[in-house]
Structure 1
Amino acid sequence: MLLALDIGNTNIVMGISHNGDWVHRWRIQTDADKTADEYYVLFSNLFTESNLSFSDLDQIIISSVVPQLTQTINEVLINYADTTPLVLNGDVETGIILDTDSPDTVGADLIADAVGGYALVESDCIVVDFGTATTVMAVEQPGKLTGVAICAGLKVTIDALVGKAAQLSQIPLEPPPQVIGQNTMEAMQSGLVVGHLCMVEGLVGRMEKELEANSIKVIATGGLAEKIGPYTDIFDVIDPMLTLDGLQTIMNRQ
C-alpha cells in the first residue's frame, strides 16, 4: 500500500492507495507545534479505525510546504513504517520539466499538481488549486511546468477582512443569489466569493492567451474546489484528489 501525504499550511491531506485505487483518505488540521509522538498517536488512531497499521505501508511519499512539519512527520514514518519516505523536491525524478527561473524554489505541492494534471488530461492545461493560497499554474506539452500565479486564498481573504472590520462576520462560501448584494452577507459573498472567481477566470483567460495553444484543459483542485468550482464554467475537470494522484504518479516513476 502507498501512503501519500500533502502537508499544507492549513490542512494535511493523506491517502492510502491499494493497487492504484484510493481506499482511504483523511484531511486533518496542520499543527506545526505537535511533536513527533503526537503525530504518531494521531496516525495510529486513523490507521486503527481503518483496520490498517504502519507495517501495511510499502511506499510513502510526502509533499510539504511546511519544512518544520516535514521533518517531524518524516521522523514518525521512518521510525514506525518498514519503508523510507520519499520527500518530494526539485531533485526527484517526476517526469515534469520545471521551466521556471528558479526550479529549485518551485513548491512540492505545485510539482504534484503539475504531474497530476498533465497525467490526467495529457495535453496543455491550467491547474487551479484552491488552498490556503489560490494558485493558477500553466503546464504545457510535453509535460512542462511553465509558470504560476499565486494569490491569497479565499478563506485567507475572508478571515483578513473579517478580522479588520468590526461589523463584518464570516459568510457561507457560496455566491449570493445576485451580484448586487441586498444585505451585508450578500454584499460580502458578492465581493469575496464572486470576486475570487472573477480573479481566477481572469487569470485563466490571460494564461490561455499567453500559452497560444489550440486546446487547453482547465482543472480545479484543492480543499475548496468542490465547494466553489461549480459556480464557474471555466473548469473542464474538478478533482479534489489531483495532488495525491500526482504524488502516486511520481512514486510509480521511481
Structure 2
Amino acid sequence: MLLALDIGNSNIVIGASSNGEWEHQWRIQTDTDKTADEYIVLFNSLFSEIDLAFNKFDHVIISSVVPQLTRTVSEVFEKKSHTEVLILNGDVDTGLAIKRVNRKSVGADLIADSVGAYALFGDNCIVVDFGTATTVMAVQNPGELIGGAICAGLKVTIDALVGKTAQLSQIPLEPPKQVIGGSTMEAMQSGLVLGHLCMIEGLIDRMKKQLGGSAKVVATGGLSEQIAEHTDYFDVIDPMLTLDGLRLIMERQQK
C-alpha cells in the first residue's frame, strides 16, 4: 500500500492507495510545533480508526513546502513503517522535464500537480491550485513544466483585508448576486471573490496564448470545488490531483 502526503502551509493532505485507487483520505492542520512523537500519536489515531497500521505501507512519498516538517514527518514513517521515504523535489525523475525553471526552487506540490495534470490530458495544460497560495502552472507538450504564477490565496487575501479594517467582519467565500455590490459586504465579496476569479481567468487566457492558443485547465486544492462553481474556465475539477501526481511519481520509481 502507498501512502502519499502533501504538506502545505495550512493543511497536510494524506491519501492511502492500493492498486492505483485511493482507499482513504485525511486532511489535518499543519502544526510545525508538533514533535515526531506527537505526529506518531496523531497518525496512529487516524490509521487505527480504519484498522490500518504503519507497517501496512510499502511505499511513502512526501511533497512539502514546509521544510521544518519535511524531516519530522519523514522520520515518523521511516521509523514506524520501516520503509524508505521518497521526498519529492526537482531532482526526482517524475517524467516531466524541468528546464526553464529553477528545479531547486520549484515547489514539490507544483511538480506533483503538473505530473497529475499532464497524465490527465497528455497535452498542453494548466493547473490551478487553490491553497494558501493560488498557483497557476503551465505544462507544455511533450511534457515540460515551463513555469507559472504564484498569487496570494483567497483566504490569505481576505484575512489580510479584514485584519486591517476593524469595522469589517469576516465575509463568506462566495460572490454576490451582482458584480456591483449594494452593500459593504457585497462590495467586498465582489472585489475579493470575483476579483480573484478574474485574476485567475486573466492568467489562464495569457498562458493559453503563450502555449500556442489552446490548453486544457484543471482546478485542484481545498477551495477548488467551491470556486469552480462560479466560472466556466475549468475543464476538470480534481481535488485529488496533487496526490494523484505523487502516486504516479512513486509508480515511476518502482518501474
Which TM-score applies when normalising by structure 1? 0.98
Aligned length, in residue pairs: 253
1:185 to partner: Cα distance: 1.6
Instruction: Provide the C-alpha distance between the structure 1 equivalents of 2:142 and 2:50, rounded to a whole number of angstroms.
Output: 39
Aligned: 1:237 with 2:221: no
Indicate conservation of the 8 Å contact 1:99/1:147, yes or no.
no
Task: Give the equivalent residue in structure 2 for 1:116.
Answer: 116
C-alpha deviations, 1:104-157, integer Å up to 9, x for none? 211101100010000011110010000010011110111100111000000000
Instruction: Provide the C-alpha distance between the structure 2 equivalents of 1:185 and 1:28, rounded to a whole number of angstroms.
Output: 30
1:206 to partner: Cα distance: 0.6
Task: Give the equivalent residue in structure 1 for 2:15.
Answer: 15
Instruction: Provide the C-alpha distance between the structure 2 equivalents of 1:153 and 1:114, rounded to a whole number of angstroms.
Output: 19
Q: The residue matched to 1:82 in structure 2 has which SS?
A: coil
C-alpha deviations, 1:166-210, integer Å up to 9, x for none? 011111111111111112221111000000000000000011111
Task: Give the equivalent residue in structure 2 for 1:173.
Answer: 173
Instruction: Provide the C-alpha distance between the structure 1 equivalents of 2:51 and 2:118, rounded to a whole number of angstroms.
Output: 33
Aligned: 1:191 with 2:201: no
Indicate conservation of the 8 Å contact 1:5/1:12, yes or no.
yes
**Mapping of residues 125-144 of structure 1, within 5 Å:** 125-144=125-144
Q: The residue matched to 2:166 in structure 1 has which SS?
A: coil
Q: Where does structure 2 lack aligned partners over 5 or more consecutive residues?
A: none
C-alpha deviations, 1:28-54, integer Å up to 9, x for none? 110111111111000000000111000
Seq. identity, %: 70
C-alpha deviations, 1:4-61, integer Å up to 9, x for none? 0000001100000011100100111101111111110000000001110001101100
C-alpha deviations, 1:64-123, integer Å up to 9, x for none? 000000011011111100311100011111001113242221110110001000001111
Aligned: 1:249 with 2:242: no
Task: Give the equivalent residue in structure 2 for 1:221.
Answer: 220
Instruction: Provide the C-alpha distance between the structure 2 equivalents of 1:188 and 1:99, rounded to a whole number of angstroms.
Output: 40
Q: The residue matched to 2:104 in structure 1 has which SS?
A: helix
Q: The residue matched to 1:74 in structure 2 has which SS?
A: helix
Q: The residue matched to 2:13 in structure 1 has which SS?
A: strand
Indicate conservation of the 8 Å contact 2:59/2:83, yes or no.
yes
Runs of 4+ in 1 over 4 A off after TM superposition: none
Q: The residue matched to 1:240 in structure 2 has which SS?
A: coil
Indicate conservation of the 8 Å contact 1:13/1:27, yes or no.
yes
Instruction: Provide the C-alpha distance between the structure 1 equivalents of 2:45 and 2:27, rounded to a whole number of angstroms.
Output: 14
Q: The residue matched to 1:148 in structure 2 has which SS?
A: strand
Instruction: Provide the C-alpha distance between the structure 2 equivalents of 1:127 and 1:101, rounded to a whole number of angstroms.
Output: 16
Q: Where does structure 1 lack aligned partners over 5 or more consecutive residues?
A: none
Task: Give the equivalent residue in structure 1 for 2:60.
Answer: 60
Indicate conservation of the 8 Å contact 2:101/2:147, yes or no.
no
Instruction: Provide the C-alpha distance between the structure 2 equivalents of 1:49 and 1:172, rounded to a whole number of angstroms.
Output: 33
Q: The residue matched to 1:233 in structure 2 has which SS?
A: coil
Task: Give the equivalent residue in structure 2 for 1:4.
Answer: 4
1:242 maps to a residue whose letter is L
Instruction: Provide the C-alpha distance between the structure 2 equivalents of 1:128 and 1:236, rounded to a whole number of angstroms.
Output: 11
1:227 maps to a residue whose letter is Q
Instruction: Provide the C-alpha distance between the structure 2 equivalents of 1:74 and 1:103, rounded to a whole number of angstroms.
Output: 21
Task: Give the equivalent residue in structure 2 for 1:79.
Answer: 79
Indicate conservation of the 8 Å contact 1:126/1:216, yes or no.
yes
**Mapping of residues 141-152 of structure 1, within 5 Å:** 141-152=141-152
C-alpha deviations, 1:193-232, integer Å up to 9, x for none? 000000000000011111114x410110011101111210
1:235 maps to a residue whose letter is F
Instruction: Provide the C-alpha distance between the structure 2 equivalents of 1:72 and 1:79, rounded to a whole number of angstroms.
Output: 11
